[in-house]
Amino acid sequence: MRGVRWRRVASQLGRSVVVWAVSTVTMLVLAGILPDFRLQSPDGESATHIAVTAAVGAGAFGVLSALVWPLLVRALLLVPALVLGLLVFVLNGSLLLVALRLNPSSSAEAAPETAVVVAAVMSAVASATGGALAVRDDDAYRRRLYRLADRRRVPGTPGPATPGTVFLQLDGVGHDVLVAAVGKGLMPTVARWLEGTHRLTPWRTDWSSQTGASQLGILHGTNHDVPAFRWYDKDRREVMVCNRPTSAAELQRRAVEFTGDGGLLTVDGASRGNLFGGGADEQALVLSIATRRRGRENRSRAGYFAYFSDPANAVRTVMSFVAEVGREIGESTRARMRKQRPRVSRGGLYPLVRAFATVVERDVVVAAVMGDLLAGRTAVYADLVAYDEVAHHSGPMSRDAEKVLQRLDRALALIANVAEHAPRPYRIVVLSDHGQSPGETFRARYGLGLGELVRAGCGLPVPRKAQRTHSGAEARVAVRAALRRPVEERGEQYRPSRHSEPLVLASGNLGLVSFPDVPHRMSKEEIDARHPALLTTLANHPGIGFLLVRSEEHGGLVLGAHGAEIPLARLDDDPGPLEVFGPGAADAVRRTHSFPHTADIMVNSFHDPADGEVLAFEEQIGSHGGLGGAQARPFLLSPLAFSEPVEEGSELVGAEQVHRVLRRWLRELNGPQVPLSGKDERERAA
Mean pLDDT to the nearest integer, 650-665: 96
Residue 308 has pLDDT above 80, yes or no: no
**Alpha helix stretches (DSSP H) within 309-398:** 311-337, 350-355, 361-375, 386-394
Residue 407, pLDDT score: 94
Three-point CA angle 415, 307, 61, nearest 5°: 125
Residue 87, pLDDT score: 56
Residue 495 has pLDDT above 60, yes or no: no
pTM (predicted TM-score): 0.79
Residue 137 has pLDDT above 80, yes or no: no
Residue 97, pLDDT score: 62
Q: Which of 108, 145, 126 is nearest to 62 (CA)?
A: 126
Residue 551 has pLDDT above 80, yes or no: yes
Name which of 116-125, 324-333, 504-513, 576-585 the model is least confident about: 116-125
When pLDDT is cut at 50, 70 and 90, the band that residue 569 belongs to is very high
Dump pLDDT digits (tens) for 438-486.
999 999 999 899 999 999 889 887 776 555 555 545 545 544 444 444 4
Residues 6+ apart with CB under 8 A from 187: 178, 181, 405, 406, 408, 409, 412
Residue 414 Cα to chain centre, angstroms: 19
When pLDDT is cut at 50, 70 and 90, the band that residue 280 belongs to is very high
Mean of the per-residue pLDDT values of the chain: 81
Going along the chain from its start, the domains and CATH numbers come out as 2-136 (no CATH), 162-223+243-436+630-685 (3.40.720), 442-620 (no CATH)
Mean pLDDT to the nearest integer, 125-146: 51
Mean pLDDT to the nearest integer, 247-260: 94
Distance CA 161, CA 82 (A): 40
Dump pLDDT digits (tens) for 596-647.
999 999 999 999 999 999 999 999 999 999 999 999 999 999 999 999 999 8
Q: Which of 138, 288, 319 is nearest to 215 (CA)?
A: 288
Residue 75 has pLDDT above 60, yes or no: no
Residue 89, pLDDT score: 54
Rg (CA), the chain: 29
How far CA 679 is from CA of 206, 253, 256, in Å, comes to 17, 17, 12
Look at residue 593 and give its three-state secondary structure. helix
Dump pLDDT digits (tens) for 164-173.
999 999 999 9
